[in-house]
A and B are shown apart, each in its own frame.
Chain A
Amino acid sequence: MAAIAVVDYKAGNLTSVMKALEAVGANATVTDDPEVVRRTGMIVLPGVGHFSATKFLEERGLRKAIEERINAGVPFLGICVGLQWLFHGSTEDAASQGLGAFDSICDRFAEGKKIPHVGWNSLTVKDGSHLLRGVETGDFVYFTHSYRAPVIHDTVAITEYGEPFTAAAERGNVMGVQFHPEKSGAVGMKILRNFVEMGC
């Protein structure tokens, strides 16, 4: 089984992600070293909090290392801010650039609902997603965020909160989820297991 690099960019706590990956049998290591990323077979980019934290990826040389690995076909999973980073950027911090793998930018939820969007919300799942294999429309996952990615061509699951947004996106080996699979009970563990098995 391929080793997973869980990229630490000093945005929050990684204990829960590590615990969940280990529970599905992954061989995961926390790292902020681009050289470790360059040797890894799979990458997870977690992250909570502010989009500006992704600057660290640039400063530390991690962005370039991740880009190289993605181009080499290594499975990549972004979680929460990690998903948003796959887009061109976010209005939360216009000065920080995303990877631009997905062609749009993230924006704050429109006024009128409580922000942040916190809690268990349901998915509308598109056919053909490898990451969401076995996950069905109506399944619940746990969210906590104020900014959201728009629905795009590569969206594989949509959630509604005042408006539809991207709950999961996938194109080949590049995948991201806005929700927290590590906190989403059995559904979340299924998704992490699907990801980990891509490295077999």
Chain B
Amino acid sequence: MLTKRIIACLDVSGGRVVKGVQFVDLVDAGDPAELAARHAEAGADEIVLLDITATHEGRGTLLQTVKQTAKRLFVPFTVGGGVRTLDDATAVFDAGADKVSINSAALRNPDLIDEIGSRFGAQAVIVAIDARRTANTAGNAVDAEVFIQGGRKATGRKAIEWAREAEQRGAGEILLTSMDADGTRAGFDCELTATVSSAVQIPVIASGGAGNAQHFSEVFLRGKADAALAASIFHFGIVDARALKEEIARDGVPMRLPC
């Protein structure tokens, strides 16, 4: 049976993990390579490395980080943040990433989706959508609006329409972040996730709002998510991905639980 995926996200700046899961016995808790390996061992189904600085001078450092992290990681590995061109994507793939996540750059230049998809395959392209339904809309999930530049700039586009266009252009997956839920730890926006997930054929990864295992179960069962991403949940009483997945599995959600 196809299982729902739990994706661990590492926010990286200047080659260091700046927030996210902290294992107690790490030699270096800020080292992305070590943290990624630990997440994978603990049962995370995928690893996302998000470059949150994404400045020009930071790119070289990022590629080094990607290379180090990919070296001993044998689960799917996505890199996001600052991928603006096919060349950027190529450099990230050459460094060992399996997928790139593109956000603002795809909205500015939607052809980027086609370009990366036709060169590296649709499975290698994740289009990340930051959506908000409380501002400028009536609050309906179907009207949720897409924001770019880390949520600072409204685009006037509806999330479901942009998700459909991304799919048509050859995106392999959608990474949907609810800006309303993000940071609240009060649960994913299940309605928004279900709305977008039902609008496309490709898998949708839910992001934003994870606080406990129950929230994951809800977004899989009610929100029709194919995968869910979390960064900070592991701070709040749940030790690692394995413990989290065991709890979600008890709610009847298919999980990969390696022995």
Contacts and interface: CB of A to CB of B under 8 A. Distances in A.
Interface of A: 11-13, 15-16, 19-20, 23, 48-50, 114-122, 140, 142, 144-145, 160-161, 182-189
Interface string B135-157: 00000000000000000000000
B226 to A, nearest CB: 7
Interface in B38-71: 40, 45, 70-71
Interface in B65-81: 70-72, 74-76
B35 interface: no
Contact of B203 (A48, A118, A142, A184): A118
Given A121-B3, A161-B2, A48 B76 contact: no
A161 B123 CA distance: 17
Top 5 closest pairs, chain A to chain B, by CB: A49-B121, A48-B121, A144-B123, A120-B256, A140-B256
A114 to B, nearest CB: 6
A189 B40 CA distance: 14
A119 B45 CA distance: 8
A16 B67 CA distance: 11
Say whether chain A's binding surface is mostly helix, strand, loop, or mixed.
Answer: mixed
A24 to B, nearest CB: 10
A23 B74 CA distance: 10
A12 B75 contact: no
Contacts of A11: 121
A15 B70 CA distance: 10
Given A121-B1, A184-B74, A12 B121 contact: yes
A120 B1 CA distance: 8
Given A23-B72, A182-B74, A189-B74, A13 B124 contact: yes
Nearest to B67: A15
A12 B203 contact: no
B168 interface: no
A183 B203 CA distance: 18
28 contacts: A11-B121, A12-B120, A15-B96, A16-B70, A16-B96, A19-B71, A48-B120, A50-B121, A114-B226, A115-B201, A116-B122, A116-B202, A117-B2, A118-B172, A119-B2, A119-B4, A119-B5, A119-B227, A120-B256, A121-B2, A121-B3, A142-B76, A145-B123, A182-B74, A183-B76, A186-B258, A187-B258, A188-B74
A15 B89 CA distance: 14
Say whether chain B's binding surface is mostly helix, strand, loop, or mixed.
Answer: loop
Interface string B189-211: 00000000000011100000000
Contacts of A16: 70, 96, 98
A92 to B, nearest CB: 12
Contacts of B88: none
Contacts of B45: 119-120
Contacts of A118: 123, 172-173, 202-203, 226
Given A161-B2, A188-B74, 19 more contacts: A13-B93, A15-B93, A19-B70, A19-B96, A48-B120, A49-B123, A114-B202, A119-B4, A119-B227, A120-B2, A120-B45, A120-B256, A122-B3, A140-B258, A142-B76, A160-B1, A182-B74, A183-B75, A185-B258
Contacts of B258: 140, 185-187
A192 to B, nearest CB: 9
B94 A15 contact: yes
A19 B123 CA distance: 19
A20 B74 contact: yes
Contacts of A116: 122-123, 172, 202-203
Contacts of A20: 74
A19 B66 CA distance: 13
A187 B75 CA distance: 11
Contacts of B226: 114, 118-119
Contacts of B75: 142, 183-185
